[in-house]
Chains A and B, each alone.
Chain A
Amino acid sequence: MKLPRLALLATATVMMTTAPACQHETHDVRPSAEVSQAGPGVVLSTLFAGGVPSAIAGTLQANQENAFAMNEGKRLFDAYNCSGCHAHGGGAIGPALMDAKWIYGSAPQNVYDTIVEGRPNGMPSFRGKIPDFQVAQLVAYVRSMSGLAGGFWAPGRNDSMQVKPGENTVSTEAPVRAPGAPPP
């Protein structure tokens, strides 16, 4: 009688300690050749001759729930000098990215299109310059800045001094504004 109970206890312990690993998110350091392309990617029409048009759609969606992708996006945001115009999301020459205003839409595909196609009045097109999987990481980070990523996933904290709340504490309902600023 004693042995089966011990075995039961051991099994339960193993299951309880390893079960959380099932939810472990993936760090894809070798993306498929398809998303490594810095290809056109942008879909101008919803009419296709068969099949799903863009290979990136799935990645864009998956990255919305992947902290590693957001963190890589945060690194690339500085590496590719997005900060040069958008100033860490606060906006300078380019529009602010941490408020609730989206000129060209906030859906992942909208942000992807903005980066790849460029937009009038200054936003350059990065078509062919950034691999698709990295654009998808940038999309995840850009959306996280205004709280669109929800509270479960967040990029790593800043190495420098924090000048704004962390991305995971931003609420979608109340976009970040400077204290005392007039309502938008």
Chain B
Amino acid sequence: MMPASGYALAPAGPQAARLAHVFWVFFAVALVVYLVVLALLLLGVLRPGPAAMDEPARLRLVALGGVLTALTLIGLLVVSIRGGHQLNPMRGAKDVLTIQVIGRQWWWELHYPGTAPDQEVVTANELHVPVGRPVLLELVSRDVIHSFWVPELHGKRDLIPGHDSTTYIQADRPGVFRGQCAEFCGTQHAQMGFLVIAEPEDTFQAWLAAQRRPAPPPESLSAEARRGQHLFQRTTCVMCHRVAGTQAGATMGPDLTHVASRTTLAAGSLPNVRQHLRRWVADAQSVKPGSHMPPTPLGATDQDDLVSYLEALR
């Protein structure tokens, strides 16, 4: 699942389409103005001799230039304001899916509310949305100002601590789109990415149902994974991470109940494969220096067991 390029001019949602439209109108007008100015400049440079024009004619020409410029700018202003007003076409729409997005240094926590507390889904750095359905994002920050930005879907929206905001997005076609924190938020701001996975409604519902399940019971785990779980609960992991259905219930770090089902590790920094998972668990600071994940100095066998456990959390 490779994400698309993060190109704002290949819109996949109504807001991004409007923004792209405003961009292209501005681009076309600016191009015409540029060419006209260059042509007039060339004319002035190439014309032989001094200008033979009386004072009133010269003034009329200047006035004409002023009026044309003002009209062009007013036209662009109208396009821009209209584009801004139409940015929220889903306000008051029915069948809206609400997702809470919490920005943390330096990853994204995602809450899909349920009808009961045990129906709520908590995941990280991978926003699954159904295609063609408006999604209301409640944007919350737990530490500093972050900014939610998926170029293919919408413009940027800041997450301000103590001042929650909302925005709508909608994916019109299935795909994987890369998002990124767009407001400098500290050492690892550049490594604070996420994926938006737009999928058909039934695939989305199947994913949601899978995410609602607690972690697999210990009896279904391999011997290594069982040892890994023991290590997880005995050492530092348990102080920050949650694995639903076990004793690990902390909420400081990403929820790991279904960590193996995600595409990336550490907020889009690494592909989620065994060798990278092992490196991240052993020495996260070599991947994201300054991140709040401390090193886990375990022996090689212990690390293998721990990684086997994490890989079993599908």
Contacts and interface: CB of A to CB of B under 8 A. Distances in A.
A38 B235 CA distance: 8
Nearest to A131: B294
Contacts, number: 40
B235 A128 contact: yes
B239 A30 contact: no
Nearest to A27: B290
A13 interface: no
Contacts of B289: 29-30
Interface string A124-157: 0000111101100000000000000000000000
Contacts of A79: 239-240, 252, 292
Contact of B234 (A128, A130, A133): A128
A33 B295 contact: yes
A80 interface: yes
Interface residues of B, number: 18
B126 to A, nearest CB: 23
Interface in B237-290: 238-240, 252, 285-286, 289-290
B236 interface: yes
Contacts of B240: 79
A159 interface: yes
B191 to A, nearest CB: 14
B297 A33 contact: yes
A37 B297 contact: yes
B175 interface: no
Interface in A1-60: 29-31, 33, 36-38
A129 B238 contact: yes
8 contacts: A29-B285, A33-B297, A37-B297, A38-B235, A79-B239, A129-B239, A131-B294, A134-B294
